[in-house]
Amino acid sequence: MIISHKYQFIFIKNGKTAGTSIEVFLSKFCGSFDIVTPIYPVVESHFPRNYAGFYNRMTSAEIREKIGKKTWKNYFKFCVERNPWDKAISYYHMAKCRTGGNLSLDEFLDGCEFPINFPRYTEPGNSSKIIVDKIIDFNNLVEGLGEVFGRLGLPFDGSLGVYAKSEYRTDRRPYQEVLTASQTRKIQEIFAVEIDLHGYHFQKVKLIA
């Protein structure tokens, strides 16, 4: 999570949406009085500062309460969100790696830890009310970041320069080729709020003639 007084923006970090890579990129532009929370595992080029009372995955509502409504209103607030089926597969690979490689996809989906992000960018008690200014679509990440960084006056050449936590996933097949019908339905149930909020759907693979 980053609050930049220098550039007047707030970056809310969501799960499995390139959040760590974005934090590392943004941290090098932040001023000495900006708030940059630590990330784990530590990335060399990321420089936390002034984070007492803040933590990495704070919700928008928590940040608003901490900094006051006036600053919250005046700063540009953004995050990234991702198709839940794709996001779940990415999170599964990380969870599998962290458990020694012995976790099946069905076991993961029968668990209780998932990258459900909507509470971080919606009003508490009202999941249909988005309270950030921009939610970038992960599928169009470079374009979305370019638009936001251009607005903020941050230089961006189309690359974040680091792809943190990408090493967990070795199977790069699209989620459509991985998930069974029952697994697809399970993810739909788990992420029902986000699917409804953003109109996500299980996209068919385009066939090349």
Could you give the residue ranges of the DSSP H alpha helices within the chain? 19-27, 60-67, 69-74, 84-98, 105-109, 141-152, 175-178, 181-190, 192-198
User: How does pLDDT run across 78-88, given as a tens digit for each residue?
Assistant: 999 999 999 99
Per-residue pLDDT band for 41 (boundaries 50, 70, 90) equals confident
- Separation in Å, CA 89 to CA 15, 113, 196: 12, 13, 19
Structure tokens at 165: 């936590």
Per-residue pLDDT band for 206 (boundaries 50, 70, 90) equals low
Q: Residue 33's pLDDT is what?
A: 97
pLDDT, mean of residues 99-125: 95
Per-residue pLDDT at 8 exceeds 90: yes
Tell me the C-alpha distance between 13 and 107, whole Å: 26
- 185 — phi, psi (to 5°)? -65, -40
Per-residue pLDDT at 136 exceeds 90: yes
Q: Residue 205's pLDDT is what?
A: 55
C-alpha angle with apex 117: 113 to 120, nearest 5 degrees?
Answer: 125
